[in-house]
Amino acid sequence: MDNYDKIFINGAWVKPVGQDTIDVINPATEAVIATIPACVAADAYAAMGAARAAFHEWSQKSVEDRVDYLRKIHEGLKVRAQEIAETITNEVGMPLKLSHIIQAGFPIHQFDSMAKVATDFDFETEVGNSKVFREAVGVVVCITPWNYPLHQIAAKLAPALAAGCTVVLKPSEIAPINAFILTEVIESVGLPKGVFNLVTGTGPVAGEALVSNPDADMISFTGSTTAGRRISEIAAQSIKRVTLELGGKSAAIILHDADMEKAIKGVFKAAYINSGQTCAAHTRMLVPESQYDKAKKIAKDVAETWSVGDPWDKNARLGPLVSDTQFERVQEYIEKGIADGAELVTGGLGKPEGLTKGYFVKPTVLGKVEPKSTVAQEEIFGPVISILTFKDEDEAIAIANDSIYGLASGIWSDDGERAMKIARCLRTGTVDINGGAFNPNAPFGGYKQSGNGREFGTYGLEEFLEYKAVQL
């Protein structure tokens, strides 16, 4: 077991003021694998003070200098890619073969990608008799989730540093070890003191102290919609900029002309990845009413190919959920769905056969789900797909848009023009047509209560910049 007893402030590892610790649990074994500090407000204030003191000098550095540090961090993370993948598999439970690609590969790429974006970005333009500058917003608090822990850190930290901001990071206390690895890399490349600071702890204590601190100019948060509301309330007291990447209840529309088997397999990939613990998971599968029986049979067969097991087993497609709390939450939703009249197509309550230890859930499909039912409206965050039916395209669009969320959606059709027309009608930040691949340089974010602001590529960099007009 690893004992992390220090946090990173002003370029040094220091003992926190808070004396309590938090256990980090391996969700596959339920064993404690590490302890981290449970920081208090005093620790948050110290980190914020260091970031504020470092801001002027860092923001005035040339873009080339800042980009050089991003590239050094990229190279440092590459060296530790195997360790990162293994660490996050132990923290989150994603199968190791996927962790290599997603949990290690994507965030490592982000630092290199943002270096290229910043190099090509126009930080100065001319508009008539004005010079318009894009300048760093200031000191940024980054609060990140547990499901894609390092990926979400990189999506915030890389553009913030490129923009000239200084950062205080509070990673999820559920999956924090990867943040310590990143911090060790940052220390090794010699990033100036105070530019990056690491504080660990819970949201209600360390997180709220950071959000409310007057030295914070911007809050960048990824997590639950409930927590996003709370952060918005606190930040509004001092008019801080806030970007939020929150929940989702994404719909995948399978049209009459689609290859049903291919489409359903694609929906499962978009819904079950990371055991369904993905904000953009396509968990509402909309199929033509006349093809429900066919869709149900295919969905049952496909779901049962998603083997559940030890995330270190190369044959496992699904690992455990991240915690006992998450396991119980998903069980309650499955039970609620059945009680409300949904048809249990496959899966259901309890753990998969032979898995008595760990927070494993049966891959579940619920059929004949009503659009207004709980399981069709609320984010479950587990490997649970709901099948809904529609009579025509207009009804499919109406059902897909009938949600407080607007993060992602999907369309399956053999008619590209038809699919694009429907995509324009969906109130979501991203739309995948026929399983279009994730693009790490395209804007990612949501409409409605899925949040505000965008991440990745040029769009992510712009979130951390202010406009300044100088009239000549």
Q: Which residues are catalytic?
A: 245, 279
Residue 392 and residue 414: Cα distance in Å, rounded?
16
Helices (H), 220-373: 225-236, 260-272, 292-303, 324-339
Residue 155 and residue 310: Cα distance in Å, rounded?
29
Asked if residues 138 and 164 have their Cβ atoms less than 8 Å apart, the reply is no
Going by the DSSP 8-state scheme, the letter that residue 309 receives in this structure is -
Orientation of helix 292-303 relative to helix 260-272, angle to 10°: 50
Q: Which residues, other chains included, contact 59 with Cβ-Cβ below 8 Å and sequence gap of 6+? A: 135, 136, 164, 165, 166
Burial 338-357 (b: 16+ CB within 10 A, else e): beeebeebbbbeebbeebee
Determine how β-strand 2-3 pairs with β-strand 32-37: parallel
Asked if residues 112 and 137 have their Cβ atoms less than 8 Å apart, the reply is no
Using the structure block, give the residue that is written with the tokens 């439970």: 93
Asked if residues 267 and 252 have their Cβ atoms less than 8 Å apart, the reply is yes
Going by the DSSP 8-state scheme, the letter that residue 372 receives in this structure is T
CA angle (464, 469, 472) in 5-degree steps:
155
CA angle (336, 357, 361) in 5-degree steps:
30
Q: Which residues, other chains included, contact 184 with Cβ-Cβ below 8 Å and sequence gap of 6+? A: none
Asked if residues 228 and 219 have their Cβ atoms less than 8 Å apart, the reply is no
